[in-house]
Structure 1
Amino acid sequence: MSAVVPPRPAPALAARLRGVASSPVRELLALLDRPEVISFAGGLPAPELFDVDGLRAAFDAALAGDRARRSLQYAPTEGDPLLRAHVAERMTARGLPTTAADLLVTTGSQQALTLVATALLDPGAVVAVEEPTYLAALQCFSLAGARVVPVRSDEHGVDPDALADVVARERPALLYLVPTFANPTGRTLPAERRAAVAEIAAARGLWVVEDDPYGELRYRGTPVAPLAAEPAAGDRVLYLGSFSKVAAPGLRIGWLRAPAALLPALTVAKQAADLHTSTVDQAAAAAWLAAADVDAHVARLCAAYAERRDAMMAAMPGTLPPGSTWSDPDGGMFTWVRLPGDVDAAALLPAAVRADVAFVPGAPFFAGEPDRATLRMSFTTNTPERIAEGMARLAAVLRAAGGRS
């Protein structure tokens, strides 16, 4: 009779992973496999609006003739020169003068954020973030061993006076912002506040990360120049861009615009991470930018998303209980909701999912004490008709919850 072998303990995880929570947004993406669920949870572009024909032609071009062998080979870490030139041209047209030499191509802008953390943050470093902020950024900084401190914000974004207080008290190495159509709130930092943030960064020697995946998705109002274009902070701001929202997230193509003094270190961090971003995807992205009318494509996205935004805004008063508030964004993908009282939005989610509708509870977006009565809703993925139906389902859930309180 053989001896019973006790089970071996699971391998210990690295200490830096122990405090990093899983993203509820990523977990809720599993609902996409249930077509009956109307999800306002993930910040997903509408797949029916992808330029599938244009991207197919771009991959055909990347894999045609002699170019195919280059597109399938190892490539420079900095990225495809033609792609960088196209990106630089588009950024310059948006008010941020840029050359190809200013850019590092990354595997999505999320990797750009990881490279910045690798290059600039030692364990124990302090990072300041607007409150609330992008959940995956909080994960990234936590994984780097940083201490994240919140900065008060209002309906116009981060408060410069509160930022000055935090910088003086905490001496952060880095400030992270999504200043245009922020995730999760949808807010946009106005020009005068951008100038104030730039002046604080310049005076205090503070690095600023400007994460801008949504900037081209404006549905009304006048565009605001990137924070990186502010003269006071031109050598303090690292700008992150992405094709995920205007082309397709499956490409996983992003970029990092950084001051010349930082680019060598960021390039080494990129080499250590993955050598280089997919050569064939970069070549296809460059071919798409060269052949497609990208401005017309973005205009089509904005027209469709504006209708969806309007549908959600119109449904808000009839969906939410009296005393609720919500943001009314000029662009991007999200609205930020606060329910009245001390309700916990996470406690409402199971009932919502049973009713085949979903949202993201707001608490994980906070670096400090969370406001559990908040939630984030995305309006880009569903048609206006689906949004109306989803909001009706959510209204029924909220009414039932109110009846039990």
Structure 2
Amino acid sequence: MEYKFAKRIQNLRASEIREILKVTERPEVISFAGGLPAPELFPVKEIKDVTRLVLEENGAKALQYTTTEGYTPLREWIADRTNKNMGSSFGYENILLTHGSQQALDLTGKVFLDEGDVVLCESPTYLAAISAFKAYGCRFKEVPTDNDGMIPDELESILYSTQNVKLIYVIPDFQNPTGRTWSVERREMLVQAAMKHNIIIIEDNPYGELRFEGEMLPSVKSFDKTGLVICLGTFSKIFCPGYRIGWVAGEEKIISKYILVKQGVDLQCNTMAQMEIAKYLELYSIDKHISNIKKAYKRRRDTVVKAMEEEFPEGVTFTRPEGGLFAWVELPPDVDSRDVLQKCLEKNVAFVPGGAFFPNENRQNTMRINFSNMPEERIVEGIKRISDVLREFIHAKLQASLGD
């Protein structure tokens, strides 16, 4: 039967990560694929106690509908935390709770994007943001990006030469997929350029608190004097992803539009989840929990970097992130990481090919490595398996070139 789907559906594709994760659910697979937190660090006992307390103290309210904006005590905590970490001046009325930052991305598309509008992004950028925005018929312009962030002259050139630019989407801290962090100068430059052209900036910050070394840098928002920067955050990486609670923080006039579109999607986030998180934050130290996460992830970052330094063949380069969950690998130009992945899966090891993180360019000689989810000994073994496959591919390409 022929179904009459909406036009927007025709260009949507399944997430490469989600498809790969179906394979990596097998316990024998060493997975560097998903951006999964370490499950052994989830505070299960504390959450069990918190759940009981919420039901005992306020069970009827916890099981009832709540406002679209979300549970006020939790919004107040988020506003205070955002102000402390990002140099903003938000109150609870500036916060909308969402089903993870992924819903915040989708709502952003609903609020701002019309067919044919342009989104500027880093090159590469977060593939699920590409998927969320693409559903609204936008086009992407990749701003040339180096280890310090978007290159200022390139950004200015694109802004002057491109019509219908609606959004600039960035992940300045421990970026997904590269793990890179923007310099302070580039952050300030970005805001100045956006103010000059009156363009909204979406500052996505799921990893900012997961810094292993060095000082926390001023946020993009901290340079914003006109309310053009909208901040996205989530509990998924600093607490528990299964709660699916994130947020949008911005000017009240902007948040009111987000509230309208969220009401048409799901009315509200899970009341019980919101109240459980708020109760945990009241009774326990989230800073101590985050500190434990960072210690574990730093060990795993150190392990994956050391293993790549020792095992990866010549011609393969990679980033050394100061925090977050990811490292980025670049292969010789003629090696396709999709082909490498197929061979790696035969050896029960997985990663995400990098091409999907480029909305236009599709550079296939790249890959993303997640180091947060596997214990150290499996990281070492997994990198060895990937290295063996890479040597085979690079040797085969070399032999082919000599044959030519």
The TM tier, using the shorter chain, reads over 0.9
Please give the residue correspondences for 1:35-54 in structure 2 after superposition, counting only pairs within 5 Å: 35-54=27-46
Instruction: For residue 380 of structure 1, give the secondary structure of its aligned residue in structure 2.
Output: coil
Question: Unaligned stretches of 5+ in structure 2?
Answer: 398-404
Q: Which amino acid aligns with 2:313?
A: P
Equivalent-residue separation in structure 2 for 1:276 and 1:120 (angstroms): 20
2:203 corresponds in structure 1 to 210
CA 1:163/1:63 → structure 2, altered by over 3 Å: closer, same or farther? Answer: same
Equivalent-residue separation in structure 2 for 1:281 and 1:127 (angstroms): 33
1:304 corresponds in structure 2 to 296
1:180 corresponds in structure 2 to 173
Is contact 1:49–1:301 with CA below 8 Å preserved after alignment? yes
Task: Report deviation, 1:335.
Answer: 0.5
Q: Which amino acid aligns with 1:75?
A: T
Task: Report deviation, 1:288.
Answer: 1.1
1:79 corresponds in structure 2 to 70
2:393 corresponds in structure 1 to 401
Task: Report deviation, 1:354.
Answer: 0.6
Instruction: For residue 141 of structure 2, give the secondary structure of its aligned residue in structure 1.
Output: strand
Please give the residue correspondences for 1:281-360 in structure 2 after superposition, counting only pairs within 5 Å: 281-360=273-352
Aligned length: 395
1:147 corresponds in structure 2 to 139
Is contact 1:322–1:340 with CA below 8 Å preserved after alignment? no
Residue by residue over 1:310-343, the C-alpha shift from the partner in whole angstroms, topping out at 9 and shown as x without a partner, is 0000011233220211111110000110012311
The two structures have a TM-score, normalised by structure 1, of: 0.95
Q: Which amino acid aligns with 2:213?
A: R
Instruction: For residue 256 of structure 2, give the secondary structure of its aligned residue in structure 1.
Output: helix
Percent identical among aligned pairs is 39
Residue by residue over 1:348-402, the C-alpha shift from the partner in whole angstroms, topping out at 9 and shown as x without a partner, is 1111001011011000100221221110000100111110111111112112223
Instruction: For residue 82 of structure 2, give the secondary structure of its aligned residue in structure 1.
Output: helix
Task: Report deviation, 1:280.
Answer: 0.7
Task: Report deviation, 1:63.
Answer: 1.4
Question: Unaligned stretches of 5+ in structure 1?
Answer: 1-8
Quick check: 1:377 aligned with 2:386? no
Is contact 1:320–1:339 with CA below 8 Å preserved after alignment? no
Instruction: For residue 185 of structure 1, give the secondary structure of its aligned residue in structure 2.
Output: coil
Instruction: State which of 49, 54, 64 in structure 1 corresponds to 2:56.
Output: 64
Residue by residue over 1:236-268, the C-alpha shift from the partner in whole angstroms, topping out at 9 and shown as x without a partner, is 011000000011110000000011221211110
2:217 corresponds in structure 1 to 224
2:101 corresponds in structure 1 to 109
Please give the residue correspondences for 1:22-33 in structure 2 after superposition, counting only pairs within 5 Å: 22-33=14-25
Task: Report deviation, 1:169.
Answer: 1.2
Equivalent-residue separation in structure 1 for 2:178 and 2:310 (angstroms): 21
Instruction: For residue 322 of structure 1, give the secondary structure of its aligned residue in structure 2.
Output: coil
Q: CA RMSD in A?
A: 1.2
2:252 corresponds in structure 1 to 260
Is contact 1:45–1:245 with CA below 8 Å preserved after alignment? yes
Is contact 1:160–1:196 with CA below 8 Å preserved after alignment? yes
Task: Report deviation, 1:229.
Answer: 1.4
1:195 corresponds in structure 2 to 188
Instruction: For residue 209 of structure 1, give the secondary structure of its aligned residue in structure 2.
Output: strand
Equivalent-residue separation in structure 2 for 1:50 and 1:161 (angstroms): 44
Instruction: For residue 128 of structure 1, give the secondary structure of its aligned residue in structure 2.
Output: strand
Instruction: For residue 208 of structure 1, give the secondary structure of its aligned residue in structure 2.
Output: strand
Task: Report deviation, 1:31.
Answer: 2.7
